[in-house]
Amino acid sequence: MTRTAFDDTCVDDYAWLRDKEDPAVRAHMQAEREHAEAVITACTHDLRGRLYAEMRGRIKEDERSLPVKDGPWLYYTLTEIGDEYPRHCRRPWQPGHEGLELDAIEALDPSGEQLYLDENQLAEDHEYFDLSVLAVSTDHRLCAYAIDTTGDEVYEVHVRDLDGGVILDDRLEGCADELVWGDDRWLFYMRLDERHRPWQLWRHHLGHDPAEDVLVFQEDDDRFFLSIHRSRSDAFLVLSSASHTSGEQWLIPTADPCAAPVLVAAREADVEYQVEHRGEHLYIVDNRGARNFQLWRAPVHGGDRSDWELLIPHR
């Protein structure tokens, strides 16, 4: 192929390689890959084995994470020798556990330990496996999790009964790695657009056909990405739409997951904010005219910026 730019003409002998769907290109790339692998293997086989053994030897394969109390349970992960992925476990919380160190937690009677999700079993028969998010329902009977078995970062959501270990019929496809329970029956998840941007929030009613799922919110501005999480009080779902320099947040009460999202403050150019809830108030950190941010308190039931009370000014 001949190219001319600024009166300079050059011949590109490799332009034909741009067509990735051309069988000749694919055959050439496969041959190059096999050649490179053969050369590298011949030169570095012993070295790669030593490096692998050295790095593997520095990893503690049988390990537990610190337990986290959630309701009547202590949740944690563990790995055993030979595991490629963690096992998700829990045990009933008892008074006095909050003062125990990790070693003391591990020394407790193992009969109370419940293995509720084993990623190693889920990964069987898959060349690639990634569990990006796991969310336990508020009544601790179910867990929803999102997995990718292709590597394209498009996830499939499943729901598992924690007592019987049965995977329910609810299966959500083409999802982003955002997942949160509204209450024990409603599950919120994101869908991706063609640019792999989380742009739609959907609501799924457990036990119902996913075709009946409800579109809750859609972000049409492709500079903004959606995310969602529960407030620390568990009273609200916090829906965020954010770009690199600005954003806005919406609240959905967990007591009424089907309620329409309520806007906290409309987006402004170069203004970022985060909201948390406690009692009768929202606590908001923003950088509106405050490069190092400032803290406000606002009524939990609506109002505009004129109703905000400045607690800690910009410094």
* Per-residue model confidence (pLDDT) at position 9: 86
Residue 8 within any structural domain of the chain: yes
On whether residue 19 sits in a domain, the answer given is: yes
Task: State residue 129's pLDDT score.
Answer: 98
The residue-averaged pLDDT of 190-205 equals 97
The winner for highest mean pLDDT among 16-20, 43-47, 129-133 is: 129-133
* Alpha carbon distances (Å) from 306 to 5, 263, 281, 309, 310: 58, 15, 15, 8, 10
Residue 260: both structure tokens together? 């329409």
Provide CB contacts within 8 A for 285, sequence distance 6+.
273, 274, 293, 294, 295, 296
Range of the domain at 46: 2-53
Q: How confident is the model at residue 4 (pLDDT cuts 50, 70, 90)?
A: confident
Domains identified in the chain, total number: 1
**83: CB partners within 8 A, 6+ apart:** 61, 120
Q: Which of 234, 225, 229 is nearest to 196 (CA)?
A: 225
Within a domain: 191 = no
170 pLDDT tier (thresholds 50, 70, 90): very high
Using one digit for the tens of pLDDT, what is the confidence trace for 89-142?
A: 999 887 766 666 656 666 666 678 899 999 999 999 999 999 999 999 999 999
pLDDT at 106: 62
Per-residue pLDDT tens for 212-269?
Answer: 999 999 999 999 999 999 999 999 999 999 999 999 999 999 999 999 999 999 999 9
Q: Looking at the domain assignment, is residue 44 inside a domain?
A: yes
In a domain, 16, yes or no: yes
In a domain? residue 26: yes
256 part of a folded domain: no
pTM as predicted? 0.81
Give domain status of residue 14, yes or no: yes
